[in-house]
Amino acid sequence: MKNPFALIPEWVICVDSDNRVLENHAVIVDGATISAIVPWPEAHDHYPQIDLVELPGQALIPGLVNAHTHLAMNLLRGFADDIPLMPWLSEHIWPAEGRHVDPQFVEDGTRLAIAESLRGGVTCFNDMYFFPDTVARVAGEIGIRASVGLITLDFPSAWAGNADEYLRKGLELFEDTRDNALITCMLAPHAPYTVSAETLGKIRKLSDQLGMGVHIHLHETAGEVEQYLQTHGIRPIAKMAELDLLNTRLAAVHMTQLTDDEIATFANCGASVLHCPESNLKLASGTAPVAAMIDAGVNVGIGTDGAASNNDLDMFGEMRSAALSGKDKAGDAAALPAEQILRMASINGAKAIGLDAITGSIEEGKQADLAVVNFNRLELQPVYNPVSHIVYSANRYDISNVWVAGKQMLHNGEHLCFDESALIDNARSWGVRIRSGTV
């Protein structure tokens, strides 16, 4: 399809500051950007030569933003289920990663995960994993928008031998991607229990110097917080405050264990929270007090976490789980209405990773990162409120079309940039190797 073109859905769900839902409108895409949102067909005469993409009975939404994930862990989907977090990590995931994670593992897992993500309407992801250079390369080749985490740990891995090497390699990648319109980077220390205060101090200085965001797991479980308190005499959030890391550039993942004062602290400093409801539920990590955070003014985005702990990259499932678990946590059926949940899965996630000026909503001048939800199914009839339908009724298989920066990636539910049979065969071969322990 050549540019410019007009998308003409039944509804345009803008997710802008006014949460506009427009009917009888067209979204004009010119190059990589949204050039206009105009009434249709009244404005048709102004665009006499434009290609038309008519989408009756369908809703155009901003491409979803998966604000926290570990894409390559798609190759560990279902590898170790029904196990608490720390035994899951130390006895299963970390040993498996030690045996198998290399550039080829990350390339194949990332490619599989991006295909899954696009099928579900995701046009931007925020990743944290080993070999971030490979993640950036694969994302760039495919053409999806990516925030790539410059992973940092205090122990060695196949990617780096110590914290300084992690940071050095990460900064090289940051420099290499500066001119890539689709790829950005965030500093990504894994967690306070795997990254020392000394290393976190270096990361804070780099964040200040380069204006880079910081993406970290924080307050994921009660046991983690208690152990840190016993070891260091302080809760992890308080240590982050000591290190001057609580600011608008911080994106903290999970945050299930919070006091009222800690919620207020996050609201006052402008930090964001990346909520992963299904991973937290599956690992029995706890339920984040999302309604209380939002009421206090905290920006909250939604992520899937990795497929090893979820076991999918389905943002529609995350939206529904976030709404239902959040209402239960708040004890209030009116908490976290559908409009708020959709914002969490789009513009809020974009804000958390510093991309809200270019993606996350349908507005003139923003990048044409767009997805279409097809309501023309008996399971989705009748339609009273399309936003409520997206959160409570639709699923990722209802996505019909996806564009990233104006480039179509999915057409009528079919990938335009993947050989699905090859992806499936490759993933199966990895499953055989991992199951058998073969390196």
Of 195, 208, 126, 128, the residue nearest 164 (C-alpha): 195
pLDDT score recorded for residue 438:
65
For 278, how many CA atoms within 13 A lie in the half-sphere containing its CB? 22
> Domains in the chain, ordered, with CATH?
5-62+367-405 (2.30.40.10), 64-352 (3.20.20.140)
Residue 437 burial class via C-beta count within 10 angstroms: exposed 0-12, middle 13-18, buried 19 and up: exposed
Is-contact 166 194, C-beta < 8 A?
Answer: no
pLDDT digits (tens, 9 = 90+) for 273-287: 999 999 999 999 999
Confidence class of residue 136 from pLDDT cuts 50, 70 and 90? very high
Q: What is the pTM of this model?
A: 0.97
Confidence class of residue 85 from pLDDT cuts 50, 70 and 90? confident
pLDDT digits (tens, 9 = 90+) for 94-118: 899 999 999 999 999 999 999 999 9
State how far the Cα of 235 lies from the Cα of 254, in Å rounded to an integer.
15
Confidence class of residue 1 from pLDDT cuts 50, 70 and 90? low
Angle, vertex CA 135, rays to CA 133 and CA 137, nearest 5: 70
Angle, vertex CA 200, rays to CA 199 and CA 202, nearest 5: 65
Confidence class of residue 43 from pLDDT cuts 50, 70 and 90? confident
Angle, vertex CA 208, rays to CA 166 and CA 294, nearest 5: 100
pLDDT digits (tens, 9 = 90+) for 410-424: 999 999 999 999 999
State how far the Cα of 220 lies from the Cα of 230, in Å rounded to an integer.
16
pLDDT score recorded for residue 439:
57
Q: Tell me what the mean pLDDT of segment 324-341 comes to.
A: 98
State how far the Cα of 345 lies from the Cα of 13, in Å rounded to an integer.
13
Two structure tokens written together for 226 = 């208690």
Is-contact 179 156, C-beta < 8 A?
Answer: no
Is-contact 291 334, C-beta < 8 A?
Answer: no
Say yes or no to pLDDT of 394 above 60.
yes
pLDDT score recorded for residue 97:
92
Classify 360 as helix, strand or coil. Answer: coil
Q: Tell me what the mean pLDDT of segment 300-327 comes to.
A: 97
Cα dihedral 21, 27, 32, 35 in deg (nearest 10):
-100
Mean pLDDT, rounded, of the chain: 96
> Hey, what amino acid is at 416?
L
Contacts of 262 (CB under 8 A, 6+ apart): 219, 235, 237
Is-contact 158 72, C-beta < 8 A?
Answer: no
